[in-house]
Structure 1
Amino acid sequence: MRRLLLTAAVATTAALTLTACGTTEPAKDDAKKSAETITLTDSTGVKVTLDGPAKKVVGTEWNVVETLISLGVDPVGVADVKGYKTWDTAVPLKNDPKDIGTRGEPSVETVAGLKPDLIVATNDLPPAAVKQLRKIAPVLEVKAADAADPIGQMTKNLDLIAQATGTTEKAGKLRTEFEAKLTEGKKALADAGLAGKPYAFADGYVVSNQVSIRPFTSGSLIGAVNEKLGLKNAWTVEGDPAYGLGTTDVEGLTKLGEGTHFAYISNNGDPSSTPFDGVLKKDKVWTSLSFVKKGDTHRLPDGIWMFGGTESMNQYVDSVVKSLTK
């Protein structure tokens, strides 16, 4: 009888222990989940909540795709994969992401099929498209550009994406490397006697047989980097409030002062794709410009994305120093 009572007591104690375990375990799970939860506020003021660092991420714009890869996050979906490979060589794709369509109109169905943890977009994407994407997964919308502080906006986006992906330490290293590159480039140009020299960067297009030139003013990311390098932006035209881009024609180039170095870029590998190497070769206004006569025109290498992240800007700095000091 005593043995039966002891057995019953042991069984009762075990049952209570199991019951206790059953009631406390969910609390531990909830605490763990709460600790991993990430809550961010994106550039539009929307709160974005993630269960933990995002791993399966879709990027709708090349600058955020570059940032993701730089942080060690290979996106599962990328807008216009072929275009990214052409225009952004500083940070190549390391995986084979799904092409989700164009940067301005991603395929909602394709994105949904990827079942992402997070979608990173910019405010260049139409609000209607962002609304559709929010039905699929959390959307972190960053400000694409800000002419009032282009470098600051670039690094702000870097930090926000890093927080969402649990890669803040890597973001710090990228910022440090970028600052070091600027310091190194500025010294190289100063040593070559180029500090304070007027410098104008642009790209150009031929539309309906008319040459259109797009100046990168001080409000552009490229323009801000140029000034950090100790160069003086030679453009006097006004840029737009986001990207700091202006517009002019061939006659507008005559307003660039004496001693200006003129730099440009084209990314499809065809020398005639840019008017500066094509139709303008026979243009009297172009050939009369002092920087053309002196040979102070510089075609920078293809594949530098002028609206990219820190690594594209590092690549740009290297190309500027090399072209001006060779």
Structure 2
Amino acid sequence: MSIDRRHLLSGICCLSASLTIPAIAAADARIVSLDYAAAETLISLGLPPVGVQSSDHWDRWVVEPELPASVANVGQDLVVNLEVIASLRPDLIITTPYTDALRDRLETIAPVFKVSVYDETKSPLRNAYRETRELGRVAGIEEEAEAFLADADARFDGFRERLTAKEQPPVALVNFMDNRHVRVYGASGLYQDVLDRLGIENAWTRPTNYWGFATVGLEELARTAPPDMHLIAFEPIVDDIRPTLASSPIWRSMPVVQEGNFEVFPAVLTFGMVPSALRFARLLTEYLEGNNA
């Protein structure tokens, strides 16, 4: 009786959670990702997944790299469709700590590899480099992963050189929760790691949570922000927030608004990996260069 590669790898993986997942052949590897960050990384390495959770929301939260039209939608977050995943005949399924509760059921379909960027080290960008190498290893594309990371290093260095040629203002990075509250990003987050890499000061120096953000009122942001800061918000912004902001006394009284130092960036995956970090670095560099022109 013949045993195909997928079932063989699944059996090996289930022997022990501590065993290292063997590499799979890159030429025909079929990978399902239950995580946008892992999916964007695989696309950047030239090996797009065959299925992604919530693929219909990719253009709202990730945007870049573009998700190939051939990638199947395998369901939403923790409510994935196991039948669809099985029908894709994956060689590997990628989870995160958030979706790892599905592991037992997923391992009946294919080996499972968990990607973890946020942990007690509070260094998501460094961890993203590590996990990119691991993805390259298990997918059998280690050379592609190393080449991608070397290029990323060169691009980060280039952005830093461009920005440090002139003095830059501190920046505050937010997502609007409603017209009175924002999620502001600081220590322990991917955005902070990028700011550090580029030599840019974060205007928000107060505590953040495990994921690198704090949810605060606009009045608190205004009270604690340095007067010369630039405020950057990320899409998506719910449509009804914009008109209510325009009529908010708190918003209109903020120096950053009065001075015109407010900008809205296209979406950048908040909990992404190296591709998202590079996207943010590029957008920020272009914005600050334009501001100093």
Q: TM-score range by the shorter chain?
A: 0.7 to 0.9
Cα displacement (A) at 1:85: 3.0
Cα displacement (A) at 1:312: 2.2
Name whichever of 99-108 and 160-169 sits farther off: 99-108
Q: 1:125 to 1:144 in 2, by over 3 A?
A: farther
Q: Once the two structures are superposed, what CA deviation does each residue of 1:211-261 show, in whole Å capped at 9, x if it has no partner?
A: 3210111211011101211111111332222x2121111111121112111
Q: Once the two structures are superposed, what CA deviation does each residue of 1:169-222 show, in whole Å capped at 9, x if it has no partner?
A: 11112212222222111222222321xx3211110122xxx6321011121101
CA–CA distance in 2 between the matches of 1:66 and 1:51? 20
CA–CA distance in 2 between the matches of 1:247 and 1:211? 11
Name whichever of 58-67 and 88-97 sits farther off: 88-97
Partner of 2:24: 52
* Secondary structure at 2:216 match in 1: coil
Cα displacement (A) at 1:126: 4.8
Q: CA RMSD in A?
A: 2.4
* RCO higher in structure (CA 8 A, sep ≥6): 2
* Secondary structure at 1:161 match in 2: helix
- Aligned ranges 1:168-187 → 2 under 5 Å: 168-187=142-161
Structure 2 gaps, min length 5? none
Cα displacement (A) at 1:280: 1.6
Q: How many residues align?
A: 275
2:245 is matched with which residue: 270, 280, 290? 280
Cα displacement (A) at 1:83: 0.8
The question of 1:233 aligning with 2:202 is answered: yes
Q: Report the residue type matching 1:203 in the other structure.
A: N
- Aligned ranges 1:31-180 → 2 under 5 Å: 46-50=18-22, 52-53=24-25, 55-127=29-101, 129-146=102-119, 148-180=122-154
CA–CA distance in 2 between the matches of 1:317 and 1:52? 32
The question of 1:203 aligning with 2:175 is answered: yes
Cα displacement (A) at 1:161: 0.7
Partner of 1:325: 289
Q: 1:45 to 1:183 in 2, by over 3 A?
A: farther
Partner of 2:186: 217
Partner of 1:304: 268
Q: Report the residue type matching 1:130 in the other structure.
A: R
Between the aligned residues of both structures, percent identity stands at: 23
Cα displacement (A) at 1:163: 0.4
Which one has a bigger Cα radius of gyration? 1
Partner of 1:257: 226
TM-score by length of 1: 0.78
* Secondary structure at 2:87 match in 1: helix
TM-score by length of 2: 0.86
Q: 1:49 to 1:325 in 2, by over 3 A?
A: closer
Q: 1:96 to 1:257 in 2, by over 3 A?
A: same
